[in-house]
Chains A and B, each alone.
Chain A
Amino acid sequence: MLKIIFQPILNSATAGLELAAELMPVLARCETVEVNLVHVERMTPSFANAFMMTLLERHPRMFLRQRLLFLHARPHVTAALHTAVQRWEQGIRLSTQPPVMAINV
């Protein structure tokens, strides 16, 4: 299991991509990642979308639900991550990801 602690201010897509990249090798081995959000005071949509959508591009939601554990998150931080997942489900993608219609083809 990988245990990681996020920093207090998460407000850039770059940070989201970098943190997602850190977790990907662990998740690819079907190991569990524990993300401690106790210090996170702020999480912008840009970060949350870059982070979650990068992971969701590689792994289905149910897989991440079992392998990616978020601990000690404040309500608005949980909401930011949850909204990113919802946006993915609604077909919203990062500008670097193929649009939903292309995937269905």
Chain B
Amino acid sequence: MQLGPYNLTLAKYGDSGDFERYSIAWDVLTAATLRQFPTMLDMSQSIHLKPYALACLAALGAHARKNGQTIPLRPPRDQRCREHVYRMGLSDYFSCQSTPLTPHDTSAKITQLEDRPTDFSSRIMDIWDREFGGLNAGLKPVWADHLDEIIWNALTHSFSPIGCLVAGQAFPKRRRLEVAVVDLGITIRGHLTQNPQYVRFRTDQEAIKKATEDGVTGTVTLNRWREPNSGCGLANLRKFCEAGNGELTIISGSCLAFFGKHGQPKCTSFPGYFQGTLVNLRFFIEQTHPLTTVMEVF
């Protein structure tokens, strides 16, 4: 679809991040995959931005840069929101006069990853460990492992031209962490249908549900890093969330899928089409479900 010059204006109030009401991500995800980028990103009315919204906005900016363009950004008029945008480093991906501000301890600054991030997830968890005055030692490595698997998926499966963008924030009052990973690649269905076993999948909903089952991968022999896959990262994360330890939201292609305590995924149509994958993780600090009681390996 060929557009004339247009501004991308984000609505007032932002969104709750629950993917239920109007969401910034919809417009941004669609804009990021159009061939014509907006002439300006107008955030003047924004009040509240969740990590996934920031990651999506950064993806838009990174995609434009990759194509030789820099989108001007009109920052939020709301001071608190404006400072949050600067602290999270969003202005690094756009053209904007801003004052460099260091991220809060509760935030993991937007990061673009294109190569193996060996200790990235550990560093994020250390940031939040300080914020909460010490997280449950058994949970920190588990959360970091889940995040690594999602990032690895984005970098090895998606063939995204910008790698992936990661943004995170801790919410001390709600006792939860949120991390979003977004790529502009071939979608989960695009990856899965590379495997002849799954070539029959015609919808993104079918593909996302299947991808969260154990042992399901679109990789035939080796991935782009010359590694084998076993297709267990997303399945592990789904089980973790369905055990009540967190929530997982995936947007890929034309589907939004939510995995949480209720056990059955909730899938809705994404209004538009997103050529890429967004994975949003929520981890609950108050761990109530034992992660493991295994005593031996064999």
The reply to whether chain A is a binding partner of chain B is yes
Tally of contact residues, A, Cβ under 8 A: 40
- Cβ–Cβ contact B214 & A92, under 8 A: yes
Chain A residues within an 8 Å CB radius of B119: 9
B294 within 8 A of A: yes
Chain A residues within an 8 Å CB radius of B149: 44-46
A22 within 8 A of B: no
Docked complex Cα distance between A80 and B138 (Å) = 13
- Cβ–Cβ contact B295 & A78, under 8 A: yes
Tally of contact residues, B, Cβ under 8 A: 38
Would you call the interface of chain B mostly helix, strand, loop, or mixed?
A: loop
A72 within 8 A of B: no
Nearest-CB residue, chain A, relative to B216? A92
Chain A residues within an 8 Å CB radius of B121: 11
B297 within 8 A of A: yes
- Cβ–Cβ contact A95 & B122, under 8 A: no
Chain B residues within an 8 Å CB radius of A90: 214-215
Nearest-CB residue, chain A, relative to B295? A78
B233 within 8 A of A: yes
- Cβ–Cβ contact A12 & B297, under 8 A: no
**Interface-forming stretch among B37-45, B223-231, B241-249?**
B223-231
23 contacts between A and B (CB under 8 A): A11-B118, A13-B227, A13-B228, A14-B227, A42-B144, A44-B145, A44-B233, A45-B149, A45-B232, A46-B230, A75-B294, A76-B138, A78-B294, A78-B296, A79-B294, A81-B297, A85-B298, A87-B232, A95-B217, A95-B219, A95-B222, A95-B223, A95-B230
Binding site for B on A (CB under 8 A): 9, 11-14, 17, 41-46, 49-50, 53, 61-62, 64-65, 70, 73-76, 78-83, 85, 87, 90-97
